[in-house]
Structure 1
Amino acid sequence: MGIQMILNAKAVYGVPVKIYTQDVDEESLIQLRKMAQLQFVHSHIAVMPDVHVGKGATVGSVVPTKNAIIPATVGVDIGCGMNALRLSLKAAQLPDNLSALRNAIERKVPVGFEMHKQIKAKASTLSPLDKQLQVITRKHPALTRMLRHFNSTWQKQLGTLGGGNHFIELCVDENQDVWIMLHSGSRGLGNVIGTYFIERAKKEAQHRFGHVPDKDLSYFAEGSTSFDDYVEAVAWAQHYAYENRREMMRLVLEAIRPLLPSFQMTKEAINCHHNYVQKETHFGEEVYVTRKGAIRAGLGEYGIIPGSMGAQSFIVRGKGNPESFCSCSHGAGRKMSRSKAKQVFSQQDLIAQTNGIECRKDKSVVDEIPAAYKDIQHVMANQQDLIEVVHTLKQVLCVKG
């Protein structure tokens, strides 16, 4: 299926919103209509089939802008994304009971609010990050006051999972090959950078391109000092998120090796963002493309689309569809809020819906119950014009924050 809904802006100025599903909540439609009124949006806004309302901007939106960036559209989990790696193991080589593997991973990789007691990342990883961060904090010293024990915290959080919908999984594909798949972002400092610049944009209230219909859509105009500083800071956070996933993958491999037959990593390895901004060329113009809950799916590019903790996930290859700005969904997408999920579902529901999966099944993760998410099969059916499936994965083990 292709585009299923088009919102035509009714304001004095506006661009169309092209949506790859009919399953869109009213709050998201309101957010999208407001965003479509911005004069610096290029061509149209593309909305992926996992769309749902988000803080500041709609999750699943792909927003190309000329000469401006909206920090709230990138969000606070800057660089959040996926990492997947296929191993030379078959499902039959996994132990019948996976609890020891899960415990080993949880001992190696801190989850939730936890961090490493000592810095784990190598100096070759930390040094360039630290050097660039010092440039940023010299210009914006307030950042250092927004994170407790600033310098040690960001370094000790490198290689940690975080909470919410972040996860580490062992999966098995259609060929019975074993994969490691994980989902995380730029941790506490990414959140601080996002929050700081979102509030700065609201305070500065730049109006070079006219009034904005919502404070959450406050932007930085290209050529301003704040624009340059934000581009620099967001690039740092995206780099940090990428390295965080790499470090976690290294630690997961260390954790599971002693408990499994000898294995090698294959060449199939993917590390991709789904909350980020970068400069690209679309419809003949160089623009800043912000993907909030969407991954790049350029022609031949590989990506990862996870389902919920009880559903299938997919390794995909992009078709380079220009109408989606070479993008596709970043997952299944929530169909109810975390608070509502906790009201509607019980611990027993969680146990039933994660039957056969080695994972936490306590009350504190009920908000991540599979039924709180959209049907991943329906989401995938709605984006056949955007990607092709290369591998279908099913988790057998899941670590949650």
Structure 2
Amino acid sequence: MENKRINGNDLLALGYKENRALGIALKINSKRHGLKRDEMLQKFKEVLADPESFSEDAIFEPLAKALLFPEEKDTNIIPLKESTDAYAVYGEEHIEEGARKQMDVAMRLPVSVAGALMPDAHQGYGLPIGGVLATENAIIPYAVGVDIGCRMALSIFDMEDVALLEKHDWLKKIILQNTRFGAGNGFLKHERLDHEVLENPLFQEIPFISNLKDKAWTQLGSSGGGNHFVEFGSINFEQEDQELGIPAGKYLALLTHSGSRGLGATIAGHYTKLAKELCKLPYQAQHLAYLGMDTEAGQEYWNAMNLAGDYASACHEVIHEKVLKDLGVDRMAKIENHHNFAWKEQYKGKELMVHRKGATPAAEGVLGIIPGSMASDGFLVRGKGVESSINSASHGAGRQMSRTQAIKNLKKQDMLQMLNDQGVTLIGSNMDEAPMAYKDIHTVMAAQEDLVDIVANFSPKIVRMADDGSRED
């Protein structure tokens, strides 16, 4: 019991408020200072009762001062709106309370105009995963997320899906030869490929970004850890899609999911820190610190974010072109969409900054890809342009179990049996990405049938993911 982690709920039970002092207490606890759990809790109780007595304590002085001089008295703190503005929620019965609380806080930002919560939503940092937030003249780095411009890309080939059985080993070899996975992993100098994205002038114009160019070149065409994947599967068009020019039938397809790798993660960390320094918000909203679009910092982040998005797209392009060359067949169509991004969009006659953190653009007629899990269908969809969702839909099934919970509670044999039942070959991955850790994709799709039309179903069959436990999502 003594090693059990002290969390925010433990401190709230002692009488702490959800403010800056709570965060300082948790930071002190992370170092433990040789105290057992019960001893640390007792100290926290004593500091709360009489902070002045600890104002010169070597360990608890920062906490004591935060309690003696609360942020409510700090005139530099930007106040939140008194109440949460209304926002649309899809699939509410399947969304955890933590995600709702995060969205409630986001809607109290003085710059927030509109919001929506997608049916795959779950708790994240700042804005929940599956959260959509429209702001006026402000951009929020942590409402974009760490993996800037993370995206789905789908290539549909002029080859029947029977190849997944008849040429299984060949297709598996193609994936192994043309992909590389894991946080920090990339290509050696003699393996690197050039791409026009590396010639973006921002690599010279912004000193901070110029130092990242070699890392970007090293990782170009690779995929991250966590839930990122490259997979061959069968895509089923029950009827002809005239816009894409694809007849009814089942075809071989390649689906990839990854983002801007180390480039995006470093940009996110840098500008999130800057935003927190420039935009002082109450403790519960500190991860939603924003930058004004009329400021130099805001414009710099906007440009850096777009560069990271272009780079993420280039990574997918490299993978798909390599695979296309090895397959030696024609590509019938390629569809791509991204999340973890901010767009300038018109909403009710006003230009706003629309943040989609783990949400797919779904304006009228816009194509998107919504994956399930490694053992369940994904969907090629066409948006309906619903205003209450801010022209958005889910970006996947969404987690119903944290990574830690999945590793602790799920059994590998159960995952392998499920994959076998679905005829899925898995290369890499860990238990934190087991299909059972995700919500049922069909339930998620049912909750957003007003937001998108299903064009085709995609069934994964040969799946590659990182196998080193790394994460960049």
Same fold, judged at TM 0.5 (above): yes
Name the Cα RMSD after superposition: 1.9
In the other structure, the counterpart of 1:237 is 308
> Which of these two proteins has the greater Rg computed from alpha carbons?
2
**Contact 2:136–2:351 (CA under 8 A) maintained in structure 1:** yes
Runs of 4+ in 1 over 4 A off after TM superposition: none
In the other structure, the counterpart of 1:319 is 384
The match for 1:40 among 106, 111, 115 is 111
Hey, which of these two has a bigger chunk of helix by percent? 2
Q: In the alignment, is residue 17 of structure 1 matched against residue 87 of structure 2?
A: yes
Residue identity opposite 1:337 in structure 2: S
In the other structure, the counterpart of 1:77 is 147
**Contact 2:280–2:286 (CA under 8 A) maintained in structure 1:** no
Assess, with a 3 A threshold, how the Cα gap between structure 1 residues 97 and 345 changes in structure 2: closer, same or farther.
farther
SS at match of 1:311: coil
- Tell me the CA shift for residue 271 of structure 1: 1.4
Residue identity opposite 1:229 in structure 2: E
In the other structure, the counterpart of 1:335 is 400
In the other structure, the counterpart of 1:28 is 99
**Percent identity over the alignment?**
34
Assess, with a 3 A threshold, how the Cα gap between structure 1 residues 229 and 50 changes in structure 2: closer, same or farther.
same
* Consecutive unaligned residues in structure 2, runs of 5 or more: 1-79, 237-248, 467-473
**Contact 2:111–2:135 (CA under 8 A) maintained in structure 1:** yes
SS at match of 1:84: strand
Assess, with a 3 A threshold, how the Cα gap between structure 1 residues 228 and 275 changes in structure 2: closer, same or farther.
same
Q: Superposition pairs for residues 92-111 of structure 1, below 5 Å?
A: 92-96=162-166, 98-111=168-181
SS at match of 1:354: helix
Q: How many residues align?
A: 370
Q: TM-score, normalised by structure 1?
A: 0.88
In the other structure, the counterpart of 2:343 is 278
Per-residue CA deviations over 1:25-76 (Å, capped at 9, x if unaligned) read 111121111111112111x211111010012220001100001111111011
Assess, with a 3 A threshold, how the Cα gap between structure 1 residues 27 and 13 changes in structure 2: closer, same or farther.
closer
The match for 1:203 among 256, 277, 285 is 277
Measure the CA separation in 2 of the matches of 1:321 and 1:212.
33
SS at match of 1:342: helix
SS at match of 2:343: strand
**Contact 2:368–2:382 (CA under 8 A) maintained in structure 1:** yes
Q: Which has the higher contact order (CA 8 A, sep 6+)?
A: 1
**Contact 1:206–1:220 (CA under 8 A) maintained in structure 2:** no
In the other structure, the counterpart of 1:359 is 426
In the other structure, the counterpart of 2:136 is 66
SS at match of 1:155: helix
**Contact 1:13–1:38 (CA under 8 A) maintained in structure 2:** no
The match for 2:255 among 178, 181, 189 is 181
SS at match of 2:95: coil
- Tell me the CA shift for residue 101 of structure 1: 2.3
Measure the CA separation in 2 of the matches of 1:165 and 1:387.
23
Q: In the alignment, is residue 153 of structure 1 matched against residue 220 of structure 2?
A: no
Per-residue CA deviations over 1:287-340 (Å, capped at 9, x if unaligned) read 000000111111111000000100000000010111111111100000111111
Q: In the alignment, is residue 345 of structure 1 matched against residue 410 of structure 2?
A: yes
Per-residue CA deviations over 1:174-200 (Å, capped at 9, x if unaligned) read 222111110010000100000111111
The match for 1:122 among 190, 194, 202 is 194
In the other structure, the counterpart of 2:330 is 264
